[in-house]
Copies of this chain bind each other. A is one copy, B any other.
Amino acid sequence: MRYELYYWTGIQGRGEFVRLALEDAGAAYLDVAREQGDAVMMPFLRGEKPGARPFAPPFLRAGRQVIAQTANILAFLAPRHGLVPAPAASQCHAMQLQLTIADMVAEVHDTHHPVAMEKYYEEQRPEARKRAASFRTQRIPKYLGYFEQILKQGDGRHILGRRHCYVDLSLFQLMAGLDYAFPQAMKSLRRRTPRLRALTERVAARPRIAAYLASPRRIPFNEAGIFRHYPELDRT
């Protein structure tokens, strides 16, 4: 079966967490909006298509099933492609970690959109500076400290047990995005995140991920996405 992934064109955004899982799995998928334009998603969002109605992209069509919410899509895909251990308790643990990543990603978005999601960054710059300062000094250390500690208490290499899983892929994306958006803040945390650094490099070196990252399918981070680099938000 070929999956259909639906996500906004032009950005990595939350769709990228799903793409990385599909690519790592070597799964056949069509990146539908990139082929046909964003308008192709609207009938789904308006509830005009069969299957669960998504609130927002990304969503995945797998046969007759429509699945939305990034962590939920990953939890659906992972057991089908060996990207999570089979026991229910492991899948539950993976979801817990993935939802914590999702919480951090939402906070990343809020650094450039702290007061009005529907307005431009340029209309909320002073507030963005405040939010970004809090994010850099309080939240990045707290979240990354949490994941680093879990790696330390585990085998040091994998976030869940002793095997690669989809949460490792998402941690790679999280680190890549933070490095892009907050290079200074991330540089100052380097020595406190050795295992996350090693994990990020290891994921990037996985053959299918390396091939994907080198392909035109991996579009660069940019200032329309979730991870945006505004130097004034990275100042320490």
Chain A residues within CB distance 8 Å of chain B: 47, 52-55, 65, 67-69, 71-72, 75-76, 89, 92-93, 95-96, 99-100, 102-103, 106, 110, 114-119, 124, 127, 130-131, 133-134, 138-139, 143, 146, 149-150, 153
20 A–B contact pairs at CB < 8 A? A53-B146, A53-B150, A54-B96, A55-B103, A55-B146, A65-B92, A68-B100, A69-B96, A69-B99, A71-B99, A75-B95, A76-B92, A99-B99, A114-B115, A115-B127, A115-B130, A117-B134, A119-B134, A124-B130, A127-B127
Please give me the residue from chain B that is nearest to A128 by CB atom.
B115
Determine the main DSSP class of A at the interface with B. Answer: helix
Given contacts A69-B96, A69-B99, A89-B65, whether A131 and B116 have CB atoms under 8 Å apart is yes
In the complex, which residues of chain B have a beta carbon less than 8 angstroms from the beta carbon of A67? 92, 96
Q: What's the Cα separation between A153 and B114 when bound, in Å? A: 34
Q: Are B139 and A52 in contact (CB under 8 A)?
A: no
Q: Are B149 and A134 in contact (CB under 8 A)?
A: no
Q: Are B93 and A52 in contact (CB under 8 A)?
A: yes
Q: Are B72 and A92 in contact (CB under 8 A)?
A: yes
